[in-house]
Amino acid sequence: MSRFKAAVFDWAGTMIDFGSFAPMGVFVKTFSRFGVEVTVAEARGPMGLPKWDHIRAMLDQKRIAAEWKKVRGAAPTDRDADEIYKVFVPMNEEVVADYATLVPGALDTVKALRAKGLKIGSTTGYTRSIMERVLPVAKAQGYEPECLVCADDMKHGRPTPLNMYRCFIELDVWPASAVIKVDDTEPGITEGVAAGCLTVGVALSGNAVGKTPEELAALSKAGIAPLREHATALLKGAGADHVIDTVADLPALIDRLEKAV
């Protein structure tokens, strides 16, 4: 049996959607509907936040804010974020299932952790309505966590610890230090830090790298190294205790941590 009681995983870029692609095209298309062109790189910046907060953060980016004012005649407001959000959510609902393939090794990791006695929870920056499209696809592949806390389940989500607190209650686990939070984004790591969990960042499958497994496989070790270093720096900067390439590496990390005690 492990000294850890649970692992709480993020979804896109961590357990599914290697490279975190599902929201990117939707952000670009949604802003375009309002006459403002944004890039995928600009859309990736706030990833991990609840989607309304993500949109507001994009509107606060200097270039986008200036372009919005130029096109729309006034600086962007929370009301503008509301309108964008109303368009974004149903568009994301329509495409998200197409990107719900499990990250290679994710299912083996879950099986290994459950064999050690760990419970499996999850939090996400996606809304409940978006996750309703993802859950059956994940279940068909064998992944079904014991709990799910979505961005709109709590009044205050990431980067606060409240989603994690709800996971503790639903999983019936404590103390926080016995829970591992695994995520590919800074806000997702920050929520784990704020809750007092051991935090593990995933670098190569996540938003910061933004590549498919095939694209990574086509790169040399020398080509992958700076991508890993960049993602690791971001995750460590957010407070990650450890950074691994993908969730497939988590069981080995847990074994090392337990032997070190």
Catalytic center residues: 10, 51
How far is C-alpha 48 from the geometric centre of its chain's CA atoms? 5
Return the structure tokens found at 13. Answer: 């870029």
- Please spell the DSSP secondary structure of 91-110, one letter per residue: HHHHHGGGG-PBPTTHHHHH
Q: And the tokens for 250? A: 């988590």
Rounded Cα distance, 20 and 54, in Å? 14
Q: Which of 199, 200, 223, 197 is nearest to 211 (CA)?
A: 223
Instruction: Of 259, 248, 260, 194, give the one whose Cα is nearest residue 9.
Output: 248
Kindly report the number of other CB atoms within 10 A of residue 59's CB atom: 20
The residue type found at 130 is I
- 149 beta partners: 123
List of E strands, the chain: 6-9, 119-123, 147-149, 179-183, 198-202, 242-244
Are the beta carbons of 13 and 185 closer than 8 angstroms?
yes
Q: At what angle do helices 22-33 and 51-60 cross, to 10 degrees?
A: 60
Q: Given the structure tokens 């686990």, which residue do they identify? A: 173
